[in-house]
Amino acid sequence: ETGVTQTPRHLVMGMTNKKSLKCEQHLGHNAMYWYKQSAKKPLELMFVYNFKEQTENNSVPSRFSPECPNSSHLFLHLHTLQPEDSALYLCASSQEGDSNSPLHFGNGTRLTVT
Amino acid sequence: DAKTTQPPSMDCAEGRAANLPCNHSTISGNEYVYWYRQIHSQGPQYIIHGLKNNETNEMASLIITEDRKSSTLILPHATLRDTAVYYCIRHSNYQLIWGAGTKLIIKP
């Protein structure tokens, strides 16, 4: 148990579907992150939310749409994805702006786009 | 360049100390060195971090050279469950650059 819960663990979707990934943290953190991990590639930061405000968007295509309704919940809305978007999507949380605070990761959602 | 350099893979015998090196020769004064590990099909797990001084916790020890250009993660008594990919990361605010890490295989 990491304190960061992601659902679903596995998701298969077609290119025309719309789905959402959910992340919840119970650690009292105020920064939340979405990362993408493709096969044979390092983790790539997608989005950062800090006190519910988006502070980083690393040139992510608009077919990925994040939402952070409060500091404990983070969503990633998906629509019209491509097969190359198949990857492990990881959520993490930490204390905002504190580089002396480690990231806590969930176990990810394994996404397959068919 | 915010990257670190790690060997792609290492083996260690079960029960022995595993020493994982990391080079971060361009690290700046306010950047922490963090170590995470990722076991297959799970999210990365935080292990330990430090700024200048050596650190120890229940999982591992972190030795940072005086010039801060390199560090070593030490797992004192490796078990089969320590088989994972180990990442050495420089951390300053939100800027974490993840490399390929070191795949550590613990052998019985």
CA distance A80 to chain B (A): 25
Our CA-based measurement puts residue A81 at a distance from the nearest CA of chain B, in whole angstroms, of 22
Q: Is A48 in Cβ contact with B94 (below 8 Å)? A: yes
Whether the per-residue pLDDT at B1 is higher than 70: the answer is no
Q: What per-residue confidence (pLDDT) applies to A50?
A: 83
Angle at A74 between CA A103 and CA A67, to 5 degrees: 130
Amino acid at A74: L
Q: Tens digits of per-residue pLDDT, B16-49?
A: 999 999 999 988 888 899 999 999 889 999 999 9
CB-CB neighbours of A4 under 10 Å:
25
Query: Does the pLDDT of residue A14 top 80, yes or no?
Result: yes
Interface of B with A (CB under 8 A): 30-32, 34, 36, 41-46, 49, 51, 91-94, 96-101
Give the bridge partners for A31, in sequence order: A50, A94
Structure tokens given for B89: 């990361």
Contact B35, B86 (CB under 8 A): yes
Paired tokens of B92: 């300053």
Q: Across the strands, what pairs with B4? A: none
pLDDT at A93: 94
Tell me the HSE value of B31 on the side-chain side, using a 13 A CA sphere.
22
Closest listed residue to residue B18, CA positions, set B32, B33, B37: B37
Find the CB nearest B34 among A42, A102, A106. Answer: A102
Asked if A2's CB is within 8 angstroms of B94's CB, the reply is no
Looking at the DSSP assignment, which residues form a beta bridge with residue B65? none
Q: Tell me whether residues B31 and A99 touch, CB distance under 8 A.
A: yes
Verify whether the Cβ–Cβ distance A105 to B41 is below 8 Å.
Answer: no
pLDDT in tens, A40-96: 788 999 998 887 677 777 789 999 999 999 889 999 999 999 999 999 999 999 987
**What's the pLDDT band for B2 if we cut at 50, 70, 90?**
low
Sequence-separated contacts (24+) of A36-45 with Cβ below 8 Å: A36/A87, A36/A88, A36/A89, A36/A90, A37/A87, A37/A88, A37/A89, A37/A90, A37/A108, A38/A86, A38/A87, A38/A88, A39/A87, A42/B97, A42/B98, A42/B99, A42/B100, A42/B101, A43/A90, A43/B44, A43/B98, A44/B98, A45/B94, A45/B96
Task: Indicate the residue of B43, B46, B98 with minimum beta-carbon distance to A42.
Answer: B98
Return d(Cα B2, Cα B46) in angstroms, integer.
19
